[in-house]
Structure 1
Amino acid sequence: MKKKIWGPVAIAIFAVAATGVQGFTYLDRILANQTAEAWNAIYDRQEETIKSDGVDAASAPVATDGRGTSNPAALTSVDKEAESRIIRSGLPGNNLCTFACNVDWGEDILPGMLEVFKEKNVRVTFFVTGRWAENNPELLKEMYDAGHEIQSHGYSHALCSDISSEKVEEEIEKTELAIIDAINIKPNYFAPAAGDYDERTLEIAERLGYKVVLWSSDTIDWREGSSADVITQRIMAKPLDGAIILMHPKPETLKALPDLIEQINAQGCRIVPLYRMPV
C-alpha cells in the first residue's frame, strides 16, 4: 500500500509547488485530474472484480477491506450490522429519488446546473468538500438559497481508509466549519470520497453526528466517453424508486440534465433532496 501512495503524494507536492507560479486555478485542474485518475483506477478494479458476479459496476459502491484497498468484494469483510447503517438508497414505494452531486471542482458548471434545476423546479443534494466551500462561499450560498441541500464530502477528497483516524475526523470537522461559515448550517450526512470507507470511518462519522451516504445509481460522468446520452441511458436503465443518483458538475452532466429530469418525471418519479426521502 505504501508504494501506491507515493504517486498521489508526488502529484500533490507538485501541485502545491505549481500554485506559487500558476495560481489556484491551475492547482484546481491538477487536483481535478488527480481525482479523475483515482476514480478510473477504482472503477477499473470494480469492473474486474464484479464481472464474474454479473453485477453492474455503475451501481456498485466502493467498499474497503480494512487495508485501504477499494473493492466491492470487500463488503463481505465489513460487519453486517455496521453495513446496514450506511445509506445507499431511499425506501422504495414512495416514487422519490435524489440527485447526489459531489462537488470538489466545477464552479464554472454549477451556475448552469442551478439554472436547469430552477427551470425544472428540482431540488438536489450537493455534497461539497471543505476546501471547495472555503474557496467558493458565495456560490455555495447561492446553491443553498436556491433550496438545495448542502452536505459534507470531506475536506480534501482524501480516501478515508488511507488516512489515520485523526485525519478522518479532521476531514469531517474542517468541512463542517467551512459549511457553517458560509451558510450557517451544520451538515449531518457524509459522503466519503470515491465511496471509500471502512468500519472505522463509519464509527468516527457517527460519533461526530453524521450518517454515511453512498449511492445506488451512478452517472459515471467523470469517465471518458460519458456523453449526455450515455449518462441518461445509464440512469434510466436502473430502478428509480428510492434511487440515490451520483453525479458531478461536468459539462456532459449539465447537457444531460434537462432530458434526464423529464424522463424521470415521465416515469412518475419525483426528484427531491435526500432529507426529503425516507431512508
Structure 2
Amino acid sequence: MAFMILLVVAYQTEPNPFQMNKMENLAAPVSSMSKKDQSLYNEIKRKSEEYKEEPQNAVIDKVWKKTPGLNGLKVDVKKSFNRMKEKGEFDESLLVFKQIKPEVTLEDLPPAPIYRGNPDKQMVSFLINVSWGGEYIPSILQTLKKNNVKATFFVEGQWAKKNPDLLKMIKEEGHVIGNHAYNHPDMKRLSQAESTQQIQKTNDIIKAIIGTKPKWFAPPSGSFNNGVVEGASTLQMETLLWTVDTIDWRKPTKSVMVNRVMANIQPGAMILMHPTPVIEKGLNDLISKIKQKNLKIGTVDKLLTEKRY
C-alpha cells in the first residue's frame, strides 16, 4: 500500500463469550455520539471488509520448499475511528490494522531447506557468506550503517576463530550471525553425523565469541542433502539457501552485479553475496535500487517471520 498504516499484532486466544460481548459493546458507537460521528464509524465498519486479508499458513512448496506464512490483516474499527474522529471524515491513511497469526507457522513444518520468504511480504534479505574477504567487511558494514540496513552474516567456524574481533564488530553493528560450517566442506558428501559435527563445532566457536548460538545455517556452496537438513534441525536450526545470487565470486563489474540482482529480485527474496570488491563498491547502489522498488531490507529473522513490517 502507498499509504502508511499502523499495525497492531493480535494474539489469538480461546474466546470467552462474556468477554467478547463486553468488547463488542465497548467498540460499538454509544448513543451519545453525534450523527456525524456515527456516520463516520459506520463508514469505517462498512469499508473495513475491503481491507481484510486472510492469514497465510506456512507451507512446503513444490519448488521453493519450506515457505513461511504471513499474518492476516483486519481493520481495528474502534481505533481507526478514534484516529479519524478529529478530522471528521474517512481517511485511508489513518486506518489501524490488527495482525492475525496463521494457524501453521514455519516451526510447525518438518525439516526442509528455505530458499525465500513469503512472496507477499514486501521485504528482502542480504545473506553474506563469510569464509574469506575480511578486509572488505569494515567498509561493507559502513555502507549498511549509512543506509540503515541490517544483514545476516553466515560465518565459517575457522574464519570466526581467526577473526574474533571482526565477528564481534558485525554483531555490535546489529546484524544477525548465522552458521556457514567449520571449514567449507562439500556437505552433501558428508554423513549426517559429520555434517552435524561441522555445524555444532561452528556454533560452539560463535557462541564463545559473541555469547549467542546461531539459529540459521547456510551450507557452503549451497551443497546439502537430507542428512544436512535433518542434522541442522536436531540442533534447532533451519537450513537456508538463496533466491538470487550476485555471482560476486565471478568478479563481475559493479553494473553487471547490480543489474543481475535487480532483474531477478522479488518480494521475499534472499540475496546471496560475499565480502568481495564488487560488493564493497556496488552495495550502496544495490540498496538504493531495492528501496526504489518499495521493498524493505531486513535480516532473515524478520523476513522469515509471519509478522508484517
Task: Provide the residue aligned with 2:303 in structure 1.
Answer: 277
Provide, for residues 100-132 of structure 1, a one-character-per-residue CA deviation record: whole Å limited to 9, x for no partner.
000001110000000100111110000000001
**2:166 is aligned with 1:139:** yes
Greater RCO (Cα-Cα under 8 Å, separation 6 or more): 1
Amino acid of the residue matched to residue 218 of structure 1? D
Cα deviation, residue 167, structure 1: 1.9
In the TM superposition, what is the alpha-carbon distance from 1:208 to its structure 2 partner?
Answer: 1.4
Aligned partner of 1:113 among 131, 136, 140:
140
Q: How does 1:90-101 map to 2 (within 5 A)?
A: 90-101=117-128
1:250 is matched with 276
* 2:191/2:227 contact within 8 Å kept: no
In angstroms, what is the RMSD of aligned CA positions? 1.7
CA contact (8 A) 2:218 2:240 kept: yes
| Alpha-carbon contact 1:129-1:156 (below 8 Å) kept | yes
**CA shift at 1:166, angstroms?**
2.7
The C-alpha deviation readout for 1:71-102, integer Å capped at 9, x for no partner, is xxxxxxxxxx97x8211000022210000000
Partner of 1:178: 205
Moved over 6 A (4+): none
Structure 2 match to 1:155: 182
Q: Normalized against structure 2, the TM-score is what?
A: 0.62
- The alpha carbon displacement at 1:165 in A equals 2.8
Aligned position for 1:234: 260
For 1:152, the aligned partner's letter is N
1:240–1:264: 8 Å Cα contact kept in structure 2?
no
Unaligned runs of 5+ in 2: 1-62, 65-108
TM-score, normalised via structure 1 length? 0.69
**Count of residue correspondences:** 199
Whole-angstrom CA distance in 2 between matches of 1:240 and 1:111: 28
- What percentage of residue pairs aligned between the two structures are identical? 37
CA distance in 2, matches of 1:200, 1:151: 19
Measured against aligned partners, the alpha-carbon deviations of 1:219-255 in whole angstroms (never above 9, x if no partner) come to: 000014x111111001000133100000000001111
Of Structure 1 and Structure 2, the greater helix share is in 1
Higher strand share: 2
1:162 CA drift (Å): 1.5
The answer to whether the 8 Å contact 2:254/2:282 transfers is: yes
Q: In the aligned structure 2, how far is the partner of 1:143 from the partner of 1:168?
A: 26
Stretch of structure 1 that moved more, 183-192 or 164-173: 164-173
- For residues 240 and 265 of structure 1, the distance between their equivalents in structure 2, rounded to whole angstroms, comes to 12
